[in-house]
Amino acid sequence: MTGNGDNNGKEPVEEKIQLQIDKEALKKLKLVVVAYSHVEREMFPTEDAYKAEVEVEQRAAEVVEEIKKLGIEAKGSPGNQYFLTNLLVDKPDLVLNLVDTLRGKDRLQSSVPAALELSNLPYTGAGIEGLVIGNDRNLTKRLLLAYEIPTPAFQFIRRVGTGIQEDLGLPLIVKLNGSGGSVGIDNKAVKETTKEVEKKVEEMITTYKMPVVVEKFIDGPEITVCVFDDNQKCHVMMAEKVFRTKPDGKHFFTSIESYDDEKAYRFKKVEEPLRTKIARLAVRAFQGLQHKDYAKFDIRLDEQTNTPYFTDSNPNTAFGPDLGLPFTEVAKLHDVSFSDLLASMLSKYAKDLK
């Protein structure tokens, strides 16, 4: 998303997003399989972690129906022990990969593209490398720094009892290193003292059996940035979250509890010159982190320095027609429908079919 430079000295005008859609190529698709996470309660350490994934089957069913509206046969396939066997029987032209977890573990997500590549089956979304990076906050943040993309100061912690670096400052927020979404980030996630941070680190490592990232909390606006690559251009759509209340009474941020509150926040467009500044960084992050087709970034803006800090990266972010999904909602704010996103992505792959 770029501005129009020739505007008589005024601020750049946001260009209308026009996605590449090849309707003739879509006719080549005979069958698309929508792969999704197989979810059972006992696979997850907490109820919150389970709830964060349990909606995927319904979302996959909605995507199947949207594909059928394009005149293409489609069916869903759960990511379980029969996944690859079923695909080899069905022989789809394309797999739309919505698998977030396997056996409740985000880190196994990368085995899906591995299996599909081994079987020579084309699929949407990030490949093995992109998902490995996307499921490791520590690695993501180090790569962002390598590509000169701002990310808040942080500390990677593997073991309970590790001291918190004083130079991080306060307040701090503790996040799981290998879990997407807001799992583990409740209304009291932002900590004002080192002692509170250490207690939260112990609690999360003990509960989830994985390392954590302690991150400097940037007390400014939160911006959702969506990138969509239609094979001609990386389109960037973004919106600021306008929160109704502060979850902890002190800070604005997205917590796991806010997922159940439809009025927790609303989106508004980001204005120039910040929009163009963030868009350039987002494309660089998208490419540097090996994301593919689509991804979502979370940004906190330090208003004193006007620095957009990239806090989280979500390759293969929640994808579906439901306006409750951030990617779909932000796209709609930019007059881009889910139907067009879907048609564009499918036609990109259909072009390569013989």
pLDDT per position as a tens digit, 210-267: 999 999 999 999 999 999 999 999 999 999 999 888 888 888 888 777 766 778 889 9
pLDDT of residue 100: 84
Q: Span 13-24, mean pLDDT?
A: 88
SS3 117: helix
| pLDDT (tens digit per residue) in 81-140 | 888 899 999 999 999 999 987 665 666 778 899 999 999 999 999 999 999 999 999 999
- Start and end residues for every CATH 3.30.1490.20 domain found in the chain: 150-216
Residue 241 in tokens: 């979250």
Q: Look up tokens 């997407």; give the residue.
A: 180
Is 70 exceeded by the pLDDT of residue 1?
no
End-to-end, the C-alpha distance of the chain in Å comes to 32
pLDDT of residue 5: 40
Residue 47 in tokens: 């109820």
Tell me the pLDDT band of 13, cut-offs 50, 70 and 90.
low
Give the global pTM: 0.90
125 and 315 Cβ atoms separated by less than 8 Å: yes
> CA-based angle 231:237:243, to the nearest 5?
155
Is 70 exceeded by the pLDDT of residue 334?
yes
Task: Give the Cα separation of 153 and 22 in Å (integer).
Answer: 44
Task: Give the Cα separation of 134 and 141 in Å (integer).
Answer: 10
- Start and end residues for every CATH 3.40.50.20 domain found in the chain: 19-125
pLDDT of residue 37: 82
If one compares 209 and 263, the residue with the highest pLDDT of the two is 209
Is 90 exceeded by the pLDDT of residue 41?
no
Count other C-beta atoms under 10 Å from residue 74's C-beta: 22
* % of the chain beyond a pLDDT of 90: 70
Task: Give the Cα separation of 223 and 256 in Å (integer).
Answer: 17
Query: What mean pLDDT, rounded, does the chain reach?
Result: 89
Residue 268 in tokens: 């508004």
Q: Span 179-206, mean pLDDT?
A: 88
276 phi, psi to nearest 5 deg: -65, -40
| 8-state DSSP, 236 | E
14 phi, psi to nearest 5 deg: -65, 125
Q: Describe the crossing of helices 56-69 and 338-350 by its angle, rounded to 10 degrees.
A: 70
Task: Give the Cα separation of 213 and 20 in Å (integer).
Answer: 38
Q: Span 62-67, mean pLDDT?
A: 97
pLDDT of residue 218: 96
Q: Span 302-330, mean pLDDT?
A: 95
310 and 150 Cβ atoms separated by less than 8 Å: yes
SS3 105: strand
Q: Which residues are within 8 A (CB) of 231 and not within 5 positions of it... i.e. 6 or more apart?
A: 20, 348
pLDDT of residue 110: 83
For 150-216, the fitting CATH number among 3.30.1490.20, 3.40.50.300, 3.20.20.70, 3.40.50.10140 is 3.30.1490.20
Long-range Cβ contact pairs of 337-340 (< 8 A, separation 24 or more): 338/66, 339/66, 339/69, 339/70, 340/19, 340/21
SS3 282: helix
Task: Give the Cα separation of 293 and 350 in Å (integer).
Answer: 14
pLDDT of residue 342: 98
Q: Is 19-125 CATH 3.40.50.20?
A: yes
Within the chain, residue ranges assigned H as helices are 23-26, 47-54, 56-69, 83-90, 111-118, 128-134, 137-146, 194-208, 274-288, 326-333, 338-350
129: alpha, beta or left? (left if phi > 0; alpha if psi -120 to 50):
alpha
